[in-house]
A and B are shown apart, each in its own frame.
Chain A
Amino acid sequence: MDKLGINLPWFLTQLTGFLIVLFILRQFTYKPILNMLETRKRKIAESLEYADKVKADAAAQQKDFERRLDEARREAQVAAQSAQQAAEQERQRILAEAQAEAAKIKEAARGELDYERKQMVSELRQQVIDLSVLGAQRVIGANLDDRKSRQLVENFLNEMDFGANGRKPASTREGAGA
């Protein structure tokens, strides 16, 4: 034992040293650090739980948001469709109105034209009659009975169908030109 160096005072010194180290480590290191590790573990677990909750909430919100977005989109689509329909109807209406207006204007224009033409023909007729009578007077050198000669030309024109009937002015005019 002595050769190995085992002796009681030295042994007790070493043992005491170990026990002091053990006590100090237990008091100042193990207890606080184990507590700290425990606390940290709990905190991390809590944080993870919270994160999960937040994530779930976010997912729910996302779903809700998407649902609302879908709804809004659908509504917008419906609104757009109805607006398009209304616009189409409006267009049709305006088109029809415009067409009716145009037809009316055309009709009115045609009526006016007809009237003016009739007017012109009638004026022309008067002038032709006047010219004919005047021409005839020159030819025969006598003063023709105005009323009577007029009647004659009038009759002639009527025979020729010149301007008496507005229905066939073209053929009449053609005939007159020929």
Chain B
Amino acid sequence: MRNPKVWIAIIALLVVGGVIKTWLTFSVDAVRASVAIAPEILFNLAGFDVTPTIITLIIVMIIIILLAVFSTRNLQLVPGGLQNIMETAIEQLINLFEGIAGPKWRDFFTIAASIFILVIVSNFVGLIPGAGSIGIIKLDEKHPTAPEGIFILGDAPAFIHTTSLFHKNQLAQGVPEQELEEEQALVPILRAPTSDINLPLALALVSVIMTQVYGMRAQGLRYWTRFFSFGRIIRFFADAFKGHFKIGEFFFGLIDAFVGAVELVSELGKIIAFTFRLFGNIFAGEVILLIMAFLFFALPIPFYGLEFFVAFIQAFVFAVLTVAFMRLATAEHGGESHEAQHH
């Protein structure tokens, strides 16, 4: 930041922003700001509701695929340009995962690194100016024209007539059609896929399910004794059948079974934790930026910077936790066999 050019660029951007704000009469007041947890429906494609998050996901995929293909199209031993950037990123991820999982990082790398890359690119695309603020205003009988003060690009895409999910929900809750709460809301064209709960849920499921797969691969069926540890209790009943009653064995057996149950619940809880950690952070970030924009036009700027940080941190946390859980699942949890495994 010692570079004066950076400061000049920032000041110039602020000045330009201020001029645009004062001279062009943008107004957000005419439209209800859309704070929708569920992604809005842009249009229907052969029975499939296309949402902004799906459009953005496709853009994200294109970006990643282009990066992936072009960075390694002509691999050189002495790297340069895009290859250098990609290699540095991959190497950093390797160092990170190796620090957590040790030599096992190779097994987990594909999934964790892909999660990291998809999440970070999704988050960043969601921060592109215009994502969330450029969109379509739905028109219906009660709102035949667009509100005043709205900047319209041409006339076609801004006037697509759709039924909002909000109305669907109201109808589903039994609100009579005449009493439907009317609103005109902007449906953005771009919205971070990570702010749609489906993507975090998909990633969380992949992460947790693959953790079980790796655990099984490392320990075989014995892995499941982590959740269903009835060994001691069965032993107690076997002994009891022969006439030896070992009360201690029984209680320890109960404790084992209880610990297993807790593990099972926490494993399932991981899915929810993964999902809502990512979704919540990114969605909340979008809401914060929206609210700050309503308060004062320059206020979103520091929060915008914060959101870049959050975008990175969430991708980082998701990948790191995935590797950490996979490492835990593949580690032996029997004391002596753990030692034997490593020698």
Contact = CB atoms under 8 A, between A and B. Distances in A.
Interface of A: 2-7, 9-11, 13-15, 17-18, 20-22, 24-26, 28-30, 32-34, 36-37, 39-40, 43
Nearest to A43: B77
A13 B54 contact: yes
Contacts of A2: 38, 169, 172
A40 B203 CA distance: 33
B198 A10 contact: yes
Contacts of B206: 15, 18
Contact of B58 (A9, A17, A28, A37): A17
B115 to A, nearest CB: 8
A29 B68 CA distance: 5
Contacts of A30: 90, 109-110, 113
Given A4-B197, A28-B69, A11 B202 contact: yes
Contact of B201 (A11, A21, A33): A11
Given A25-B117, A29-B71, A6 B198 contact: yes
A95 B202 CA distance: 113
A7 B54 CA distance: 13
B61 A21 contact: yes
B102 to A, nearest CB: 17
A3 B54 contact: no
A10 B54 contact: yes
A165 B113 CA distance: 135
A29 B169 contact: no
B139 interface: no
Contacts of A26: 110, 114
10 contacts: A2-B38, A9-B48, A13-B57, A14-B199, A15-B202, A15-B205, A17-B57, A18-B206, A21-B65, A32-B72
Contacts of B203: 18
Contacts of B91: 37
Describe A's contact surface by its main secondary structure.
Answer: helix
B20 interface: no
B64 interface: yes
A6 B53 CA distance: 13
Nearest to B193: A14
Interface string B74-115: 010101000000110011001000000000000001110111
A33 B86 contact: yes
A94 B115 CA distance: 101
B49 interface: yes
Contacts of B77: 36, 39-40, 43
Nearest to B38: A5
Contacts of A9: 48-49
Nearest to B199: A14
A22 B202 contact: no
Contacts of B57: 13-14, 17
Nearest to A33: B90
Contacts of B79: 36
A14 B115 CA distance: 12
B229 interface: no
Contact of B37 (A3, A24, A36, A37): A3
B196 A14 contact: yes
Contact of A29 (B60, B86, B165): B86
Contact of B110 (A10, A15, A22): A22
Nearest to A20: B61
B39 interface: yes
A33 B87 contact: yes
Contacts of B90: 29-30, 33-34, 37
Contacts of B165: 5
B71 A14 contact: no
B193 A17 contact: yes
A21 B117 contact: yes
B196 A10 contact: yes
Q: Tell which of B51, B64, B67, B79 has the most Cβ of chain A within 10 Å.
A: B64
A71 B110 CA distance: 64
A24 to B, nearest CB: 5
B68 A11 contact: no
A3 B71 CA distance: 40
Given A4-B37, A5-B37, A10 B193 contact: no
Contacts of A5: 36-39, 165, 196-198
A29 B72 contact: yes
Contacts of A11: 198, 201-202
A13 B111 CA distance: 18
B114 A22 contact: yes
A6 B48 CA distance: 14
A24 B49 CA distance: 26
A17 B203 CA distance: 11
Nearest to A22: B114
A15 B38 CA distance: 17
